[in-house]
Structure 1
Amino acid sequence: MALLQCSFNSEALGISASMNVILPQGERRRPLKTLYLLHGLSDDHTIWCRRTSIERYADAYGIAVVMPAVNRSFYADMARGANYWTFVSEELPRLARSFFPLSERREDNFAAGLSMGGYGAFKLGLSHPDRYAAVASLSGAVDLNRLFADRFSEDLFDIVEDPASVPGSSLDLFALAERVAGRPGAPLLYQCCGTEDFLYEDNVRFREHCRKLGLPLTYEEEPGTHDWGYWDDKIQSVLAWLPLRDE
């Protein structure tokens, strides 16, 4: 595997942006299957490589991994900040494919993330089910409405002018799930959370919501907290779960 540290100009953000990319080495017959792997609120694009063995795990599957930096944006076009949703959902895939031999096919594209990144991965898949075959949330911040109500982070209040506008909007995973339900081509969903995690109850609510809607959700829980030991273990489960057919 090759690990590339990439800096590039982002028109969406108006700054020099960063991503780490893991690529399989050797000859290949076709463009690479790709996992967009998203970081949490207190992290950056380097964290997955520093705190897990993602490079070694990805090697076993021959998959490319793209890890962008999105600051503390909650993967949103911010009212007081930059357009991180436009960046991660539109500009990043386009630029990554121009730099590296990555597949454009829906069946070859996946997203996953932890905490804030779990929210971002589900937001990608539920907003663009035509682009992602499967998405995974590890200890995800899936209930943005509850986080606003509890003032979980002051960073949230940079996302929108009025938190009352969030329910039912494109920031609300519960609403996005309802829009996808019943339509053909919903992405596969994988959700996990430790039972001692402070986000556990939020994840249970979202699990039940998806089940009622009939979405294709795989859910796992076991003892665990909001920590890297748990995420290092579960990202291996995500890779094993992804529909990576041999060709």
Structure 2
Amino acid sequence: MALIQCDFFSETLGLSTSMTVILPQSTRSQIGMEGKAAGGKHPTLYLLHGLSDDHTIWLRRTSIERYVAHLGLAVVMPAVHRSYYTNMAEGLNYWTFVSEELPALARSFFPLSSAREDNFAAGLSMGGYGAFKLALRRPEQFSAAASLSGALDAYRSNGLNAEEVRRIFGEPGSTASDNDLFVLAEQGAAQPALELPKLYQCCGTEDFLYHDNIRFRDHAARLGLDLTYEEGPGTHEWGYWDEQIRRVLDWLPLRK
């Protein structure tokens, strides 16, 4: 694998920012790890961080580089601060950045596939919310998305105080259709011709976000969404996410 720390300027944000990128590499003599890369452009996982983290956190807390080496899968990990992957009411346009500018820039820098079937999103906590938001608002771009212990109700148990919620999302109800995953799921299910991405959701049964995850799971089931749900013992911590990201990688519908 090639590991790249990429610092670049974002026109959308109006500032310099960063992403960490893992690129596939075919290797034959590397000790302890098989490296695989198919010819052409690489399938890509956009792997999103949580509220208190940044673009380096998945590498620092898990073995994500080792986990994807044999898959021929590129991984793009952007920095979005405490934005909830949202065009903030009082702040920067992080939704436009992550859903439009970031994929375009990453593909201009690196040999990444633009085909829907080769693009996936996943994340933990706030990043789980972001991954499902990408899936439900940009279904033409992503074929699958995974939420690990996701903060799926952006207006409730999300780690933010009331003032921070207001600065990000605006006054209650002002942008619900854009930022409420429950509403977005309903809107997607109401369009029979729209092919929604496959969804994977997991949460530890001792996690403070567990009940919000159950609510979303049941909501998705009522709507008939293609959602795989798993739960088991676990809290909101990296030992759980390190284990679960491997299950996500096994679940991804990568083309053979």
- TM tier relative to shorter chain: over 0.9
Amino acid at match of 1:59: A
Distance 1:102 1:136, change over 3 A: same
Q: What's the TM-score once normalised by structure 2's chain length?
A: 0.92
Which residue does the alignment assign to 2:184? 176
Q: What's the TM-score once normalised by structure 1's chain length?
A: 0.95
Any residues of structure 2 matched to 1:71-82 within 5 Å, and which?
A: 71-82=81-92
Identity among equivalent pairs (%) = 66
Distance 2:253 2:153 in 1: 27
Q: Check if 1:29 corresponds to 2:8.
A: no
- Alignment match of 1:159 (pick from 153, 156, 168): 168
Distance 1:75 1:208 in 2: 24
Q: Check if 1:59 corresponds to 2:69.
A: yes
1:9 is paired with a residue whose SS is strand
* 5+ residue gaps, structure 1: none
Which residue does the alignment assign to 2:31? none
**Is the 8 Å Cα contact of residues 139 and 192 (structure 1) preserved in structure 2?**
yes
Return the offset for 1:202. 0.1
- Alignment match of 2:150 (pick from 140, 156, 169): 140
Amino acid at match of 2:169: V
Distance 1:154 1:46, change over 3 A: farther
**Is the 8 Å Cα contact of residues 73 and 155 (structure 1) preserved in structure 2?**
no
* 5+ residue gaps, structure 2: 27-36
Distance 1:170 1:164 in 2: 10
**Is the 8 Å Cα contact of residues 118 and 255 (structure 2) preserved in structure 1?**
no
Return the offset for 1:161. 2.9
- Alignment match of 2:219 (pick from 202, 209, 230): 209
Deviations 1:210-243 (A, max 9, x none): 0000000000000100000000000000000000
Which residue does the alignment assign to 1:16? 16
Distance 1:25 1:54 in 2: 15
Which residue does the alignment assign to 1:227? 237
Q: RMSD of the TM alignment (CA)? A: 1.4
**Is the 8 Å Cα contact of residues 157 and 209 (structure 2) preserved in structure 1?**
no
Which residue does the alignment assign to 2:126? 116
Distance 2:209 2:163 in 1: 17
